[in-house]
Amino acid sequence: MTRRRARLVTTAALAAAALALVAAGCGGSSKSSSGGGNETTTSGGTSSSGGKTFANFRIAYDQGIDFLDPGLSYTVEGWGIMWNVYLPLLGYKHANGPDGATLVPYLAQDMPTVTNGGKTYEFTLRKGIKYSDGTEVKASDFKSTIERDFKVDSPGVGFFGNIVGADEYGKTKKGDISGITADDATGKITINLNAPQGDFEYILATTFAAPVPPSTPDKDQSTTPAPSTGPYMIKSYKPNKQAIVVRNPNFDASKFDGNVPAGNPDKMTIDIIGDDSVALQRVISGQDDYDFHQIPPDRLSSVQQKYADQIKVYTPANTYYFFMNVRVPPFDNLKVRQAVNYAINREALIRVYGGLGQPTEQVLPPTYPQYKKISMYPYDLAKAKQLVEQSGDKGMEVTVWNHDRGSDPKATAYLTDVLNKIGFKAKEKIVNSAVYWTTVGNQATKAQIGFADWFQDYPHPLDWFDVLLNGNRITQTHNNNYSNFDDSAVNAKIEALKKEPSLNSKVNGEWAQVDKMVAEQAPWAAFMNRQFTDFFNSDMDLSCYINHVLYQFDFATICHK
Amino acid sequence: MAQPATESEFTLDTAAQLAREEGGGGREIRGRSPWYLAWRRLRRNTVALLALLVFFLIVAACLLAPVFANHVAHTGPNANHVLERVNVDGQPTPVLSQGGYLNKKTLQPCSTGGSDCKLFSSIPIGPTWFSGGGRFVLGADSNGRDVAVRLLYGGRVSLFVGVISSAICVTLAIVLALLAGYFGGWVDFIITRFFDLFFAFPAVLLGIALGSALAINGFHHFGLNIGSGSIWIPTLVISYVLIPYVGRPLRGQVLSLREKEFVEAAISQGASPLRIMYSDLLPNVASSVLVFFTLIIANNIVLEAALSFLGAGVQPPTASWGTLISDGQTLIVTRPWLSLAPGIAIVLTVLALNVFGDGLRDALDPRAKVRVEH
């Protein structure tokens, strides 16, 4: 159950964010953005499309789209498009800042009724909702969609493992998931869980849970998009070339109580561009309206100078880190893992990324109310060398893994040099980004150490600790716990906190404790919370700009001058 | 005075003697080998010799890379100097300038935004041209690595791949060409179909496909264990994909030679096929092979650069001229020297080898039209 990407959402007025999110009962991130120092957006209001529609929004996208199938996509690029295409029962407010972390009913009439000690969730489907092909959305479509996720080997199936009967269904793919019942006549959907789960509503808001017609084939539908329920539908998708998104003729915003805006562009032309400089140039020259890529670090000043009003800077809830596989020497040795943490200079790594980031040594990003700053590993090369000497693993061969996209390979080059300096024989292994995560997530690879980043799937500490560091969730393939970190004390704490129905100050303190426990065992060398840029051409009206805590820039609500 | 020889005893020496007599005691005419004659022709080709000198200078510079790295630049090819400063004309200059989203006044990072914050570029130091005491002569890349040091080390790798892959390619091509040309029949059929199979794919695309596949897990077959990061991967891939481009024209020459009288004579005297191929055929294609070898080194250096640029050749952090161009690509606007320097090195090397190869071809066989084309 992975979600990694080139980028994501949110910055924050930390205090405001923390307060708002605690109030909302969730961990999360907030956002404020500034356009070249001239502009700050903190509004939490949802946008409407009244009178602001325009013909075509042209986007210079990157190559990160994995799938455009809601059951399969697990990247920012995929979710960014599908947020406005496939609607789950619950979803997030289309709003800037902490307000965006608020869950609202999308296809469901109301928020669920939770009974049976947090183990039963009941929804009622909105009436009269149709797919883009004109067929009516039924309650049973939700059940068949979750079952389809299992059939297509969706990376999201791990989220649904707590539903009664889901595990058995996952193994056999026969019968049905007994824990989900649906009544098409009344639109009632009931979900029974094996145990209470504090983040379950957030899981139901993921794209994996967005209903598609039951006739949707049990295979990747990226190039033959499934009918949609949202304001838009995917008209066509040519991988690595272009995706065209147009209005869904059967979408009626009035049926969603203002929770799902109709959107301003009539059409979105998403051009997939491989190079940052080319994408920037396309926007500058007016060929595209929005640059999804990052502005090349050496061009920041010149772009700032000429186009200050067209830039937005934001810090999503993200953590960049090097994983160390505790099952493979030399990283099965705590001293070695600590040595790596001491040896990397986080300021240097940030500079390698063009300076856009903040140093970190821990799992949770600072936008989370559970965040408590950890300063355990100051840069100390001598101490690192000493620890490696003591470990008895000096001189061992180490392979540093990474993918080939963006600035990330530069981090590997830095780490390789550092590992050589502290006494290892390190070399790099750079593989294509399309296969990198499945390669390092496969136990057969036995990847020793490598690059990883994480952007939240939903604003809750479980999305970090349970998905990435719970030893009980280690899998043979598609493993997100690249470190294979399996500490019984940490596992027990995560499992206990998972049952907490809400996040209060006591629970938040417990999560902070988990963060510290992980840092002490050093399965990661976390190094940065990265900042990102959004760049628009001068035709766009950025007063409509919304940067969502999860989906980052909201394509649907942007306005044209 | 010596007696003139009879007609049946006429030899080259006799001719020389006659010439001496006719010339009234002129110079003695010696029998010259084709290699000597070729050398004499090459010696007169100043441009070709100059090109050879340029190539040797480049090779020498690359071989001296450790000396430059240790005694002038004081750094290794993969050492990162991200946060360091270097004195340029007495001024401490950051190797990689501090960029990012910073406060305009304090230059401290902005985490929450505001009117005082703006974006600053992060740019590596440009060429110091020895005003930095030998450090960063050609500037630094975005990891703060010394480009001049990497250029020289990268040259070693590029030249190694170019020369060794050419040697392997030409050796295998000779063997296949001799077998196909001499035996003909089904042996020729199989070998030429093998060549055809390779011709069906453009060499660069085939190289990318093989290089990308082997870059992940390396090559572990037929008793060979080559790791994924080894420079033997691009070396073998390049030598492999170019075999038919050398083998096919050589096979044509062998086919032609196979019908000559001296081969028929050797066969009639009971010489074994191996002996005929080694003693009669090989020497007759040697001049073409030598020219091919020279030209294909240049070709392979370019191919290595192309594959490495596309990530299917030499793997990081090992530097090669191709990877250096790729590394510099993202900074082409602000630091063009990062890509220009290895580009110029490739152009000079390839130009030198091509000019010398052409001169060598003219010297060895002025009528020959040896070309490496794909």
- Encode pLDDT of A328-379 as tens digits: 999 999 999 999 999 999 999 999 999 999 999 999 999 899 999 999 999 9
3-state secondary structure A85-131: CCCCCEEECCCCHHHHHCEEECCECCCCEEEHHHCEEEEEECCCCEC
User: Which residue from A317, A319, A321, A271 is spatially nearest to A293, judged by alpha carbons?
Assistant: A271
CB of B220 within 8 Å of a chain A CB? The answer is: no
The number of C-alpha atoms within 13 Å of B214 and in the hemisphere containing its C-beta is 29
A257-273: average pLDDT: 95
A193: DSSP letter: B
A492-519: average pLDDT: 94
d(CA A198, CA A461): 10
Q: What are phi and psi of A451, to 5 degrees?
A: -85, 145
3-state secondary structure chain B: CCCCCCHHHCCHHHHHHHHHHHCCCCCCCCCCCHHHHHHHHHHHCHHHHHHHHHHHHHHHHHHCHHHHHHHHHCCCCCCCCCCCEEEECCEEEECECCCEEEECCCCCECCCCCCCEEEECCCECCCCCCCCCCCCCCCECCCCCEHHHHHHHHHHHHHHHHHHHHHHHHHHHHHHHHHHHHHCHHHHHHHHHHHHHHHCCCHHHHHHHHHHHHHHHCEEECCEEECCCCCHHHHHHHHHHCHHHHHHHHHHHHHHHHCCHHHHHHHHCCCCHHHHHHHHHHHHHHHHHHHHHHHHHHHHHHHHHHHHHCCCCCCCCCCCHHHHHHHHHCCCCCCCHHHHHHHHHHHHHHHHHHHHHHHHHHHHCCCCCCCCCC
Residue A550 lies in a domain: no
CB of A209 within 8 Å of a chain B CB? The answer is: no
3-state secondary structure A357-380: EEECCCCCCCCCCCCCCCCCCCCC
Average the pLDDT over each of A231-245, A448-462, B21-35, B100-114 and give the range with the smallest value.
Answer: B21-35
Nearest CA in chain B to A302: B121
Token pair of A370 as six digits: 């559970």
Q: Given the structure tokens 């709003």, which residue do they identify? A: A95
d(CA A131, CA A145): 14
What pLDDT shows up at residue B287?
85
Strand A290-291 relative to strand A397-403, pairing = unpaired
CB of A306 within 8 Å of a chain B CB? The answer is: no
B173-199: average pLDDT: 92
Q: CB distance A298–B116 less than 8 Å?
A: no
Q: What Å distances lie between residue B317 and A429, A467, A528, B314, CA to CA?
A: 9, 32, 22, 9
CB of A37 within 8 Å of a chain B CB? The answer is: yes
Residues 6+ apart with CB under 8 A from B178: B250, B254, B277, B281, B282
The CATH number given to whatever domain includes residue A333 is: 3.10.105.10
Confidence category of residue B15, pLDDT binned at 50, 70, 90: low
Token pair of B225 as six digits: 């264990």
Q: Is the pLDDT of residue B111 over 50?
A: yes
Give bridge partners of residue A163 from the DSSP assignment.
Answer: A193
Average the pLDDT over each of A48-62, A465-479, B80-94 and give the range with the smallest value.
Answer: A48-62
Average the pLDDT over each of A39-53, A435-449, A491-505, B183-197 and give the range with the smallest value.
Answer: A39-53
d(CA A431, CA A442): 14
Residue A441 lies in a domain: yes
CB of A402 within 8 Å of a chain B CB? The answer is: no
The number of C-alpha atoms within 13 Å of B222 and in the hemisphere containing its C-beta is 2
d(CA A375, CA A312): 30
d(CA A205, CA A86): 11
Confidence category of residue A10, pLDDT binned at 50, 70, 90: very low
Tens of pLDDT, residues A60-81:
998 888 899 999 998 889 999 9
Confidence category of residue A213, pLDDT binned at 50, 70, 90: very high
Residues of B in contact with A38 (CB under 8 A): 115
Rounded to 5°, the CA angle A202-A206-A210 comes to: 125
Instruction: Give the residue from A34, A275, A432 with the most B CB atoms within 10 Å of its CB, the best one to mutate.
Output: A34
What pLDDT shows up at residue B150?
96
Instruction: Give the residue from B95, B101, B125 with the most A CB atoms within 10 Å of its CB, the best one to mutate.
Output: B101
Token pair of B203 as six digits: 């060499």
The single-letter code of the amino acid at A429 is K
d(CA A43, CA B357): 70
**Contact of A28 with A549, CB cutoff 8 Å:** yes
Average the pLDDT over each of A141-150, A258-267, A298-307, B25-34 and give the range with the smallest value.
Answer: B25-34
Q: What percent of chain A has pLDDT over 70?
A: 91
Q: What are phi and psi of A58, to 5 degrees?
A: -100, 125
**Contact of B117 with B100, CB cutoff 8 Å:** no
Q: Is the pLDDT of residue B144 over 60?
A: yes
Q: Is the ipTM of this complex over 0.85?
A: no
User: Which residue from A80, A52, A555 is spatially nearest to A288, judged by alpha carbons?
Assistant: A555
Q: Is the pLDDT of residue A503 over 50?
A: yes
A524-545: average pLDDT: 94
The single-letter code of the amino acid at A271 is D
**Contact of B141 with B327, CB cutoff 8 Å:** yes
DSSP SS3 for A499: coil
Confidence category of residue B114, pLDDT binned at 50, 70, 90: confident
Residue A402 lies in a domain: yes
Q: Measure CB to CB from residue A404 to each of B79, B121, B311 and give the nearest one.
A: B311
Residues of B in contact with A348 (CB under 8 A): 80, 82-83
Confidence category of residue B22, pLDDT binned at 50, 70, 90: low
What pLDDT shows up at residue B272?
92
What pLDDT shows up at residue A13?
31
Strand A540-541 relative to strand A532-536, pairing = unpaired
Token pair of B325 as six digits: 């161009």
Q: Measure CB to CB from residue A352 to each of B116, B121, B143 and give the nearest one.
A: B143
Q: Measure CB to CB from residue A351 to each of B115, B122, B331 and give the nearest one.
A: B122
B125-140: average pLDDT: 92
Q: CB distance B142–A410 less than 8 Å?
A: yes
Average the pLDDT over each of A403-412, B194-203, B357-366 and give the range with the smallest value.
Answer: B357-366
Q: Is the pLDDT of residue A392 over 90?
A: yes
Tens of pLDDT, residues A188-209:
999 999 999 989 999 999 999 9
User: Which residue from A112, A172, A114, A184 is spatially nearest to A142, judged by alpha carbons?
Assistant: A184
d(CA A83, CA A231): 10
What pLDDT shows up at residue B322?
92
Q: CB distance A298–B330 less than 8 Å?
A: yes
Residue A433 lies in a domain: yes
Q: Is the pLDDT of residue B333 over 90?
A: no
**Contact of A314 with A46, CB cutoff 8 Å:** no
Q: Is the pLDDT of residue A37 over 50?
A: no
Tens of pLDDT, residues B280-321:
999 888 888 988 898 899 999 999 999 888 888 888 889 999
The single-letter code of the amino acid at A82 is M
B265 or B213, higher pLDDT:
B265
A485: left (phi over 0), alpha (psi -120 to 50) or beta: beta
d(CA A554, CA A207): 15
Q: Given the structure tokens 């020889």, which residue do they identify? A: B5
Residues 6+ apart with CB under 8 A from A94: A46, A47, A100, A260, A261, A546, A548, A554, A556, A557
For residue B97, count CB atoms less than 10 angstroms from its CB and return exposed for 0-12, middle for 13-18, buried for 19 or more.
middle
CB of A359 within 8 Å of a chain B CB? The answer is: no
Q: CB distance A296–B330 less than 8 Å?
A: yes
How many angstroms away from the CA of B311 is the closest CA of chain A? Answer: 8
Residues 6+ apart with CB under 8 A from B136: B73, B86, B95, B125, B127, B128, B146, B147, B148
Tens of pLDDT, residues A411-450:
999 999 999 999 999 999 888 777 888 889 999 999 999 9
What pLDDT shows up at residue A26?
34
pTM: 0.83
What pLDDT shows up at residue B28?
63
d(CA A135, CA B271): 85
B202: left (phi over 0), alpha (psi -120 to 50) or beta: beta
Q: CB distance A301–B120 less than 8 Å?
A: yes
Residues 6+ apart with CB under 8 A from A130: A136, A137, A229, A250
d(CA B72, CA B162): 27
Residue A371 lies in a domain: yes
Sign of CA dihedral A404, A410, A411, A415: positive
Tens of pLDDT, residues B261-288:
999 999 999 899 999 999 899 988 888 8
What pLDDT shows up at residue A2?
35
**Contact of A295 with A282, CB cutoff 8 Å:** no
How many angstroms away from the CA of A37 is the closest CA of chain B? Answer: 4
How many angstroms away from the CA of B234 is the closest CA of chain A? Answer: 15
**Contact of A53 with A264, CB cutoff 8 Å:** yes
CB of A542 within 8 Å of a chain B CB? The answer is: no
Residue A388 lies in a domain: yes
Token pair of A173 as six digits: 């793919």
Q: Is the pLDDT of residue B358 over 60?
A: yes
B234-243: average pLDDT: 91
User: Which residue from B71, B77, B81, B84 is spatially nearest to B149, judged by alpha carbons?
Assistant: B77
Q: Give the total number of structural domains in chain A.
A: 1
Q: CB distance A299–B333 less than 8 Å?
A: yes
Q: Given the structure tokens 């490696």, which residue do they identify? A: A388
Nearest CA in chain B to A33: B113
**Residue A416 Cα to chain centre, angstroms:** 27
Confidence category of residue B76, pLDDT binned at 50, 70, 90: very high
B13: left (phi over 0), alpha (psi -120 to 50) or beta: alpha
Residue A33 lies in a domain: no
- Domain encompassing residue A467: 318-527
Residue A360 lies in a domain: yes
Helices (H) and strands (E) in chain A, counts: 15, 25
d(CA A465, CA A549): 19
